[in-house]
Amino acid sequence: PSCRRYVAGGQCKSTARLEGKVVIITGANTGIGKATARDLARRGKVIIACRDTAKAEAAASEIRAETGNQEVIAKKLDLADTKSIREFAERFLAEEKELHILINNAGVMLCPYSKTADGFEMQLGVNHLGHFLLTFLLLERLKQCAPARIVNVSSLAHHGGRIRFHDLHGEKSYNRGLAYCHSKLANVLFTRELARRLQGKFQRQEGLTANALHPGSVYSDLVRHSFVMTWLWKIFSFFLKSPCEGAQTSIYCAVAEELESVTGQYFSDCQPAYVSPRGRDDETAKKLWSVSCELLGIQWD
């Protein structure tokens, strides 16, 4: 029915092949990430980077069987622990000579107040800081393999976010819904500042791009921490995208030929989308960058 078609939203029409190319997708053992991995595995080599190795291995072997592509590999990566992120990057760089597409997809949503191994508020820590560090560690390899792409999965929820520099880790006040919005705004600001820096350093023809996206409201287990949301998701499932439909914009940003030199943008339903004024604030983006570097103990100029 046309209503269902409307819910499904934009579709990635690109048939681009990724022979000889390597893709990393974080959190690809379930939901949108898994659907993204399944599609990209029909095109090239995919590395599924997840916290739960058993689930990641199960997803990888299922995708290998479905696509006939044996180059779908599961690796351990816990974004809530910078030690794990560094180990993952080190192992990856030692084992793989190429990296063309990095999809920062993993995320936690609406979780009760908790902290990562490094003392960051969990949603900001996993959704923003973990991916910030991962991107930093893999950036040289992406540059060497350019044209290459960085794809950050954000959300429409960024409209409700603000970067609370005075209380980044929610120690003074914490609302799990707002904390999610803040972390998704951080994804948009990170993408914007990263694209700006890459263009400055690294002339456009080099072709290392960074874009963010909203996947749509997707029927997945991302809402598992909220009883109310889980219940609402079940009732309204007809009006939610399937993971495969939700993955379309991630796939589009990763492979669409027309995006080859497009960078620093935000997409939804496989087309450019409106970014909140806070998501376009360059001063906040720059400040978030330097605060993130400070928290992670890295120098990223």
CATH number at residue 136: 3.40.50.720
Residues 24 and 47 sit within 8 Å (Cβ to Cβ): yes
Q: What is the pLDDT of residues 172-228, one digit of tens each?
A: 999 998 999 999 999 999 999 999 999 876 554 468 999 999 997 765 555 565 666
What's the confidence (pLDDT) of residue 220? 55
Q: What is the mean pLDDT of residues 240-244?
A: 77
180 in catalytic set: yes
What's the confidence (pLDDT) of residue 204? 46
Q: pLDDT: is 178 or 239 the higher one?
A: 178
Residue 300 lies in a domain: no
Q: pLDDT: is 10 or 117 the higher one?
A: 117
Instruction: Read off the tokens for 41.
Output: 């595995």
Residue 46 lies in a domain: yes
Q: Number of structural domains, the chain? A: 1
Which residues form the domain of 227?
1-295
Q: What is the pLDDT of residues 93-150, one digit of tens each?
A: 999 999 999 999 999 988 899 999 999 999 999 999 999 999 999 999 999 999 999 9
What is the full DSSP assignment across 170-193?
A: -SS---HHHHHHHHHHHHHHHHHH
Residue 85 lies in a domain: yes
What's the confidence (pLDDT) of residue 223? 54
Residue 68 lies in a domain: yes
Q: How many CA atoms lie within 13 A of 158 on its CB side?
A: 32
Q: What is the mean pLDDT of residues 52-76?
A: 97
Residue 18 lies in a domain: yes
What's the confidence (pLDDT) of residue 43? 98
- Which pTM was predicted? 0.93
Q: What is the mean pLDDT of residues 262-274?
A: 96
Instruction: Read off the tokens for 49.
Output: 């980077």
Residue with tokens 């998701």: 233
Active-site residue identified among 6, 113, 174, 180: 180
What's the confidence (pLDDT) of residue 5? 62
Q: What is the mean pLDDT of residues 30-53?
A: 96
Residues 288 and 189 sit within 8 Å (Cβ to Cβ): yes
Residues 51 and 126 sit within 8 Å (Cβ to Cβ): no
Residue 117 lies in a domain: yes
Residue 236 lies in a domain: yes
Residue 148: alpha-carbon gap to chain centroid: 15
Residue 9's pLDDT band, with cuts at 50, 70 and 90, is confident
What's the chain's average pLDDT? 91
What's the confidence (pLDDT) of residue 216? 78
By C-alpha distance, which of 36, 82, 27, 39 is closest to 222?
27
Residues 46 and 21 sit within 8 Å (Cβ to Cβ): no
Q: What is the mean pLDDT of residues 64-73?
A: 98
Instruction: Read off the tokens for 113.
Output: 């107040």
